[in-house]
Amino acid sequence: MAGAVCSGIFFNITGNRSPSFIQNHYKLGKMVDGSLILNNFECIFLYYKNRIEPVNPHYRKSLNLLHELLRDDGETELYIVYEILKTRGLYVKRESNMLFARKTPNGKLMGPIIVRRENSVTDFHYLHSNAPAYYFTLDEDGDITAFLVTEEEIAGRNNEKIPLHIDTERVGGRIVTDRRDIPAWYGQPFKDLRILSDFESGYHRSDSTEGFLNRIYSDLIDRRFIVKSGFKYGAHFRAYAENIGDHAEFLIHYLEGPEEWYKISRAVRVANGVRKRMIFCGYMNDRLMFVEIKRIRDPFREQDDAVEPTTPG
């Protein structure tokens, strides 16, 4: 009876089963001249299912086999997620360092699924360029938290106009105005005056585009948001779509360079806890772009995504 082949390693099929039975039952591999041809992940999956056994005794020690089949950084974590998906009966394929899955042979292909460790880093360009995408993040205990990253084009509905020119004075190191015809949410009341934040005062200066955060603030105001500090939530801004009397719908944070995944997870968790959408922004071709990141229960369940972890905690 023909066996299986993976990366030049030959395997016998156990249990008196045929290669075609293994292919059909586990939804993997391809038949070539009566043999089952496997990729590295498929091979490991069947090896630990005790469905195949290496002909060469050297590879019957799992450490030797894994050393041969998992050579690149990140492949161990990628295989862990692959096995979870396969155990659920999904059709899973690997493309480079990403996974894609579907429930039936002709079903909707879900992905990419990108696997990260808690101390991995990413940047805005990568997040935006691969959106929409699922991110499965493994912590050092092996638990998985799933995220969904989507590109967003956000806009507010605030109709209150901010005067383009406001007379201000510097008092005690702060920018202060006695202008009365500005929105109630603009600035911080101080007696009969208003203390403007650095972003608010910068909005009226000719150099207001200096610095990325000033540019982002001005862009959000022009998008008709009410924009306030996001400091107490660990973000750059919080944004109200229409009325500051309501809760802010968004936390917005600028990703200037590489960021660690545990910090992104922390920001998303905080946003979830205060019922806000976590938006990350960045510049691509000098244009401000946005992605939303939210925690999801499980992308392969029938019900709608919910902001819950895949494991307790």
- How far is residue 232 from each of residues 156, 211, 254, 263, 295, measured CA to CA in Å? 22, 22, 16, 15, 21
Q: Residue 96: CB partners within 8 Å, gap ≥ 6? A: none
**62: nearest Cα among 77, 78, 75, 49:** 49
103 is catalytic: no
CA pair distance 121, 222, nearest whole angstrom: 32
CA pair distance 42, 301, nearest whole angstrom: 23
- With b for 16 or more beta-carbon neighbours within 10 A and e for fewer, the 8-43 pattern comes to ebebebeeeeebeebbeebebbeeeeebbbbbbbbb
Secondary element (H or E) of residue 40 = helix 40-48
CA pair distance 138, 232, nearest whole angstrom: 28
Q: What is the DSSP letter of 223?
A: T
247 is catalytic: yes
Annotated active-site residue in 247, 254, 263, 294: 247
CA pair distance 114, 118, nearest whole angstrom: 13
- HSE-CB at 245 with a 13 A cutoff on CA atoms is 2
Other C-beta atoms closer than 10 Å to the C-beta of 177 total 20
Annotated active-site residue in 240, 263, 283, 294: 240
128 is catalytic: no
| Catalytic residue ranges | 240, 247, 276
